[in-house]
Amino acid sequence: MPPTILAATEDVLVIDKPAGLPLDPGRQGGPSLAELLPALAVGRRFPPAPAHRLDRDTAGCLVLARHRRALRSLHQAFAEGRVRKTYWAVLVGTLAEEAGEIALPLAKISSPRAGWRIVPDAAGRPARTRFRVLGRGPGLTWVEFTPETGRTHQLRAHAAAVGHPILGDARYGGGEGPLHLLARHIVLPGGVEATAPLPAHMQAAIRACGGA
């Protein structure tokens, strides 16, 4: 089944990407979004194409361009920071601050045994994430993240760097999955916007933090 469409225009689709679904086929096979895109063509000659990236284990709003001109325009909008993105996450531990900004440059490191990960590095690329607390529960904090930059694994690495990794993030110290990270809301230039529903695997933790 193709993912649920959250918003649609002549140029753009915003879909609700399920957690655990990679955008591209993996080396070991298995389903991917690429295989489902033809079902979203809706009679058009070419299937839509992702205009940005979401991690395999991140659920929520993913923008697809319905033709090449729209893809070029969206790439430029993302690169220039003209797309407003909001994420929900459940963090391990009690975050003391109510709101603030994490401004830590990030760089990629890798090793033969552990693979690659993103870490704070003064020589890395600038990365900024604003946050505000939405609720707290026993050993958990529900936050809204607003990334000001779009680095790989930015939210995951920033959360870990301040001592509160995202729940279920095995790579960055949040315990075994599923990853409690949702691309909750997105606003594109021209006013197209969409909100993703809360996935089933995050509902219990959100309720524990006072959410519905």
The CATH number of 4-208, from 3.30.2350.10, 3.40.50.10800, 3.40.190.10, 3.40.50.300, is 3.30.2350.10
Considering the entire predicted model, what is its pTM?
0.94
Digits of tens for pLDDT over the chain (212 positions)?
789 999 999 999 999 999 999 999 877 778 899 999 999 988 788 899 999 999 999 999 999 999 999 999 999 999 999 999 999 999 999 999 999 999 999 999 998 877 899 999 999 999 999 999 999 999 999 999 999 999 999 999 999 999 999 999 999 999 998 999 999 999 999 899 999 999 999 999 999 999 97
Place of tokens 């939405």: 134
- The domains of the chain are located at 4-208
Of the residues 11, 16, 55, 169, only one is catalytic, namely 55
pLDDT at 212: 76
CA distances from 175 to 12, 154, 167, 190 (A): 36, 18, 6, 40
CA distance 50 to 192: 16
- Catalytic residue status for 57: no
